[in-house]
Amino acid sequence: MSHMTFNYVGKKIRLSRILRDSKAVVFAFDHGVEHGPKDFPLEHVDPKVILKKVVDAGVDAIMLLPGLASLTHDVWANRTALIVKVTGKTNLRPEDQRLLQNVFGYVEDAVALGADAVAATVYWGSPYEGVMMDLWFSIREVAERYGLPCLQLAYPRGPAIKNMYDVEIVKYGVRAAVESGADLIKTYYTGSKESFSEVVKIASGVPILMSGGPARENPLEFLRDVRNVIEVGAQGVVVGRNVFQHKNPRGMIKAIMAIVHEDKHPEDVVKYLE
Ligand code: FBP
């Protein structure tokens, strides 16, 4: 038998650390840059506090920007997989520039930090789509050399996009992510099982992770969305605010994990949130 390429093997191993049973719950905590510290309840301003809670609850992976990954490593190292996001933007920039994400670190930083994957956003449909495509392919090229999987936050967003949750729009973003070589795709929930099953189909086998979105007043609604996407073949979720803005982040992660990995129903796991 001849050797498989080393980077193929590396990518496969790293992906399996994130998708242990082919499913994954990823905790996103890049909001300090994406939205600013206003997103954080007082007790979660210290990133170690919330990261300890989600790691203790057994989360499969965390997605951080390089600086926070470095500062908090003693909390998560060897306990969960790490995805380093290497693009970003602040909400401090002028509104017409917020449809652009720029370099926020390098693949080599992710490698140095011991990451299992890198992540980058592409706003498909943005006036800056071309810049983000260039950035995506430059990230992907280097990541490929290191055997690092690439997660794409495939977000259709731009002046011509009236409803970014519309199924045709979401499918378009997912298809563009597939065709740009993403190994994992993070996308929006389209509001129903039926429509999301079309999203999963268009992904053509590339793992789909649902993006969490703003914290719900009724967490049960969020858990129902999680159940719906899993039922139609999604591989999991990437969730931030619905966990760190909830009064019981540990319980929330446990509830999501039970739906994703143990085929539980939201009504069975809502007890974890008490
Ligand atoms: P949430 O679950 O809080 O939505 O986190 C997922 C995420 O994609 C983050 O990685 C990112 O910071 C944020 O949402 C993007 O938010 P927005 O939709 O406002 O651009």
Residue 125: the pLDDT is: 98
For the segment(s) 6-273, the CATH number from 3.40.190.10, 3.90.1150.10, 3.40.50.720, 3.20.20.70 is 3.20.20.70
Of 6, 26, 27, residue with least CA distance to 18: 26
Q: By alpha-carbon position, which residue is closest to atom 4 of ligand 1?
A: 213
Q: Which of 52, 186, 254, 264 is catalytic?
A: 186
Of 226, 239, 236, 12, residue with least CA distance to 117: 12
Over residues 79-125, the pLDDT tens digits come to 999 999 999 999 999 999 999 999 999 999 999 999 999 999 999 99
Residue 126: the pLDDT is: 98
Residue 2: the pLDDT is: 85
- Measured CA to CA, the distance from residue 215 to residue 60 in angstroms comes to 20
Residue 1: the pLDDT is: 76
The dihedral built from the CA positions of residue 67, 73, 76 and 82, taken in this order, carries a sign that is: positive
162 is catalytic: no
Query: Is 88 near ligand 1, meaning CB less than 6 Å away?
Result: no
Query: Is 14 near ligand 1, meaning CB less than 6 Å away?
Result: no
Query: Is 245 near ligand 1, meaning CB less than 6 Å away?
Result: no
Query: Is 105 near ligand 1, meaning CB less than 6 Å away?
Result: no
Q: Environment class of residue 76 by beta-carbon count within 10 Å: exposed (0-12), middle (13-18) or buried (19+)?
A: buried
CB distance 234 to 23 below 8 Å = no
Characterize 4-32 residue by residue with b for buried, 16 or more Cβ atoms within 10 angstroms of its Cβ, and e for exposed.
Answer: eeeeeebbeebbebbbeeebbbbbbbbbb
Q: Which residues, given as ranges, of the chain have pLDDT below 50?
A: none
Characterize 226-256 residue by residue with b for buried, 16 or more Cβ atoms within 10 angstroms of its Cβ, and e for exposed.
Answer: bbbbbebebbbbbbbbbbbbbebbbbbbbbb
Residue-range domain boundaries for the chain: 6-273
Query: Tokens standing for 159?
Result: 């002046």
Instruction: Name the pTM for this structure.
Output: 0.97
Query: Tokens standing for 110?
Result: 């992710």
| Ligand 1: centre distance to CA 31 (Å) | 7
